[in-house]
Structure 1
Amino acid sequence: MKTTVVDLLKNRRSIYALGKNVTASQEEIASLVKSVVREAPTAFNGQTTRAIILFGDKHDQLWDIVVKRLKSEVPTEAAYESTKAKIASFKAGFGTIMYFTDEDIVRNEEQQFELYADNFADWAEQAQGNAQLAVWTALAENGIGASLQHYNPIIDELVHDAFDIPSNWRLRAQMPFGSIEAAAGEKEYMDDESRFRVLK
């Protein structure tokens, strides 16, 4: 069987050493992200995922918000210095994608399809996973490293105010990306016997 998709997925790793040495233009990256999110599947074709792509000063602004907000969350000054270094590694990248769920769409689906109402919030989260993995893999295919971060919900209000985000968009993840300045470490896999069953 063909294994091109498997090879692409293996190429997708969490890259934390990011840089700005990206040959693709901002426009090319934005176009790629839009295309991939557009094609990622959603339950009932609800298209609940939203993305904001940050470059330049806007990218820096996000990570400045995060590091400032974390000051009150970290217990010691030494821990905060470590936190600042981690956030600086994200800021060192070329850009960031913020992923949101349009909760108005979720609520409309719940009302329109009452039989499945309890499922639409879960399905919106699954749609997030679909979009995030697809974008991450597409970036990796183009030699661009990325990782997935979750500083929501503590930054939600600050982010909404800073970037004029609609109130019905709920922040789900942040994906800093850029040139790969250091490769990811070896990936470990659990035993297949603990993970899979094939029944015939």
Structure 2
Amino acid sequence: MEKDLFTALRERRSIYGISKESPISDQRIQEIIEETVKHTPSAFNNQTTRVVLLLGEQHNKLWDITNEVLKTVVSAERFSSTHEKLNGFRNGYGTVLFFEDQSVIDIFMEKFPSYQEHFPIWSHHTSGMHQLVIWMALEAEGLGANLQHYNPLIDERVKAEWKLPESWKLIAQMPFGKPSAPAGEKKFNPVQERIKVFK
């Protein structure tokens, strides 16, 4: 990775114009995911996050499934823009699927009853950390990505297609590829209004 941490953070954007090209190998993409899953923190070190990497035809299949599912729930007059948006994701090189293993969360809820209500929330925290680390790492390697949430509409089809455990709950989908168009303008609220410092 050539970029430093804050450069990667600043340059990580929602890139919707992505192509079926990658400046890095599939092996390198897999290494990014493996390093992220191994080293990203989780509450009580319970390691609830599960990640599926879809490349090639498997990536295409995900967005074909999403298209089929949404066609049944989106009105005909609105579906053409939905279809176009989904095709934009399908035009990418691959997709990272983020899951949280509910069976592990249940074990920790039972093991630590005084924190029971917090484990599902903490699970989303760790998923969010995994999403950001992978997003920044892909960006640092020259890939553009964006984050989608077609769950729970596609959950059952996804689990059935890739024979995933029933306890895996889909949290987000991250299509990625070599950028074919820049990100849109981003506006920032004054950081002074969002941070307080006491010395």
TM-score scaled by length of structure 2: 0.95
Unaligned runs of 5+ in 1: none
**Match of 2:47, SS?**
coil
| 8 Å CA contact 1:37, 1:134 repeated in 2 | no
On the 8 A contact 1:136/1:146 being kept in 2, the answer is yes
What residue is the counterpart of 1:137 in the other structure? 136
1:97 aligns with 2:85: no
**Is the Cα–Cα contact under 8 Å of residues 23 and 143 in structure 2 kept in the other structure?**
no
Structure 1's consecutive aligned runs of 4 or more residues displaced over 4 angstroms after TM superposition are none
Secondary structure at the counterpart of residue 176 of structure 1? strand
Paired position in structure 1 for 2:70: 70
Conserved? CA contact 1:145–1:178, under 8 Å: yes
Give the Cα–Cα distance (whole angstroms) in 2 for the partners of residues 193 and 106 of structure 1.
Answer: 37
Task: Provide the residue aligned with 2:13 in structure 1.
Answer: 13
In the aligned structure 2, how far is the partner of 1:51 from the partner of 1:94?
A: 17
CA distance in structure 2 between the partners assigned to 1:48 and 1:14 by the alignment: 25
**Structure 1 SS opposite 2:121:** helix
1:41 is matched with 41
Question: Deviation per CA, 1:110-142, whole angstroms, max 9, x where unpaired?
Answer: 111112111100000000000000000000000
Percentage identity across aligned positions? 40
Residue in structure 1 matched with residue 116 of structure 2 by the alignment: 117
Separation in structure 2 between the aligned mates of residue 28 and residue 193 of structure 1, nearest angstrom: 38
- Structure 2 unaligned spans of 5+: none
**Secondary structure, aligned partner of 2:13:** coil
Separation in 2, partners of 1:72, 1:32: 36
* SS across alignment from 1:97: strand
Measured after TM superposition, the shift of residue 156 of structure 1 is 0.6
Cα distance 1:194–1:73, how it changes in 2: closer, same or farther (>3 A)? farther
Kept after mapping to 2: 8 A contact 1:42/1:127: yes
Distance 2:9 2:72 in 1: 37
* 1:37–1:135 Cα contact (<8 Å) kept: no
| 1:8 aligned partner, one-letter code | A
Aligned to 2:107: 108
Shift of 1:64: 0.3
- 2:164 counterpart of 1:165: yes
Residue pair 2:23, 2:141 contacting (<8 A) in 1 also:
no
RMSD: 1.3
- The answer as to whether partners of 1:42 and 1:123 remain within 8 angstroms in 2 is yes
Q: Which amino acid aligns with 2:55?
A: F
Q: Residues 78-103 of structure 1, C-alpha deviation per residue, up to 9 Å, x if partnerless?
A: x1111111000100011001110001
Aligned residues between the structures: 197
3-state secondary structure, aligned to 1:99 = strand
Find the counterpart in structure 2 of residue 22 from structure 1: 22
SS at match of 2:100: strand
1:126 corresponds in structure 2 to: 125
